[in-house]
Amino acid sequence: SFIMKETFKNVVSYDQSKLLKSITAPTAIFWGNDDVDTPLYMAKKLSKIPDSNLFFLEGGHYAYVTDNDRFLRILTAFIDEV
């Protein structure tokens, strides 16, 4: 419906980048090398989170699904380290 579409656009357009520096938990950021839905500059913004690590996966926006073996290995290692 039109209302749901407008709500979705408002949610994804809301800039919360000022809050990134206030995140205190170790953070794993996963990005698909071929993601055309969310540009790489957004990953670079997220990497401003203190104690964050940016990991690239093979695939697009859902690379955590298409490259799930690598995703799970990295995530497991990240959690074990934390």
Task: Print pLDDT tens along the chain (82 aa).
Answer: 889 999 988 888 888 899 999 999 999 999 999 999 998 999 999 999 999 999 999 999 999 999 999 999 999 999 999 9
pLDDT for the residue 13: 85
Find the length of the chain.
82
Q: 45: which residues sit within 8 A by CB, 6+ positions away? A: 17, 20
- In whole angstroms, what is the distance from residue 14 CA to residue 49 CA? 18
**The predicted structure's pLDDT at residue 14:** 87
pLDDT reported for residue 1: 80
pLDDT at 44: 92
Residue 28 near residue 55, CB atoms below 8 Å: yes
Number of neighbouring beta carbons within 10 Å of residue 20: 15
Number of helices and strands in the chain (H, E): 4, 2
